[in-house]
Amino acid sequence: MRISVRTLFLAALLAAAPVAARAVTVSPNALFIDSRTRSGVLTLYNPGTRAEEIEITFAFGYPRSDAFGAITVPLADSTPAGEPSVLGFVRAFPRRLRLEPGQRQTVRILMQPPAGLPEGEYWGRVLIRSRGGRPPVEQQQGAIRMQIDLETVIVGAVNYRNGAMRTGIAVDSARATATARGDSVRVTADLTRRGNAAYLGHMALELVAADGRVLSTSEEDLAVYRSLRKVETLAVPPGVSLKGATVRYRFTGERPDIDPVVRLSSEAVTGVITLGR
């Protein structure tokens, strides 16, 4: 019995560094293509000892959160109504290839948008499927012997920018609550993107005592395509009183992992949250 099992490696939501799986490496894993060039390049490399059969496909998706702040990137084969998608006009050349051990290969991602495309940023995900680099996994269950074929999928972002781009972020609501044990503070922020392009920024939080001392900090890169709920936890040092404490937040467009050439500028957004119960 031969079974095909697909193992999905989801690349970091937006990072410029190469992403490695056991099959191939892909760099970069986030492409930003504008209406002037209409193309970008992915570099694939096979560090293994076996040849890899590669297929390039596309899907639609961007980071979304649930009521608890858990973030996922649901992928769809078609474009949901009202969403700015590249699926109708993005192509990969070559779409299929064989990557020998130690071989490096470039894949061109080409945009062929329709005439009169409205100004704005259009989103998608590129899927690099890799097969054949590892022998089938053999398993024995009673009298049945199975060979399990493995497939690796690396997912990266591909954004097409048509016209002038503007981005920013708004904090619609924010609250900070001490946990029952008093050893941490839970911060929940509901965020909305401004402008016509995804906000790719950096969030910094500080838990500040009534006397101005910074008790703990948290920093994280984030991507807000439409809206996003961020939930973070700040540790409280033992024996510290939270009476009169606050949480300071700061959102900036400072992302060293994104090439400055394609990084969009945005105004810093700051604020203070009074600690609640």
The number of beta carbons lying within 10 Å of the beta carbon of residue 124 is: 27
Q: Express each pLDDT in 109-156 by its tens digit.
A: 999 999 999 999 999 999 999 987 555 555 556 666 665 667 889 999
- Strand 52-59 to 96-99 pairing: antiparallel
122 and 48 in a common domain: yes
pLDDT, residue 137, reads: 53
71 and 190 in a common domain: no
Q: Express each pLDDT in 48-84 by its tens digit.
A: 888 999 999 999 999 999 999 999 999 999 999 999 9
Q: Which two tokens stand for residue 7?
A: 């193992």
CA distance 92 to 85: 16
CA distance 200 to 191: 12
CA distance 205 to 250: 7
The parent domain of residue 251 ranges over 167-276
Kind and range of the H or E element at 160?
strand 144-162
pLDDT, residue 14, reads: 42
End-to-end CA distance of the chain: 58
Residue 75 phi, psi dihedral angles, 5° rounding: -110, 140
Q: Express each pLDDT in 231-257 by its tens digit.
A: 999 999 998 999 999 999 999 998 888
95 and 7 in a common domain: yes
253 and 149 in a common domain: no
Q: Give the total number of structural domains in the chain.
A: 2
CA distance 165 to 262: 10
Looking at the predicted structure, is the pLDDT value of residue 35 above 70?
yes
pLDDT, residue 236, reads: 95
172 and 146 in a common domain: no
- Strand 144-162 to 2-10 pairing: parallel
180 and 49 in a common domain: no
147 and 171 in a common domain: no
265 and 136 in a common domain: no
What letter would DSSP give residue 259? -
Site of tokens 């570099």: 43
CA distance 267 to 168: 7
Beta-ladder partners of 9: 154
**Contact assessment for residue 229 and residue 190, using Cβ atoms and an 8 Å cutoff:** yes
Kind and range of the H or E element at 50?
none
Domain final position from 114, 142, 162: 162
Amino acid at 142: G
Q: What pTM does this model have?
A: 0.85
Domain final position from 162, 188, 220: 162
CA distance 102 to 46: 5
154 and 175 in a common domain: no
**Contact assessment for residue 154 and residue 128, using Cβ atoms and an 8 Å cutoff:** yes
16 and 115 in a common domain: yes
Domain final position from 162, 194, 227: 162
At 99, is the secondary structure helix, strand, or coil?
strand
Site of tokens 């022998």: 135
Site of tokens 């503070």: 185
Looking at the predicted structure, is the pLDDT value of residue 187 above 70?
yes
Q: Which two tokens stand for residue 27?
A: 């760099």
140 and 18 in a common domain: yes
Amino acid at 19: V
Dihedral angle sign, alpha carbons of residues 84, 87, 89, 92 = positive
Length of the chain: 277
Site of tokens 């996922």: 72
Please report, for the domain that includes residue 177, its CATH number.
2.60.40.10
132 and 238 in a common domain: no
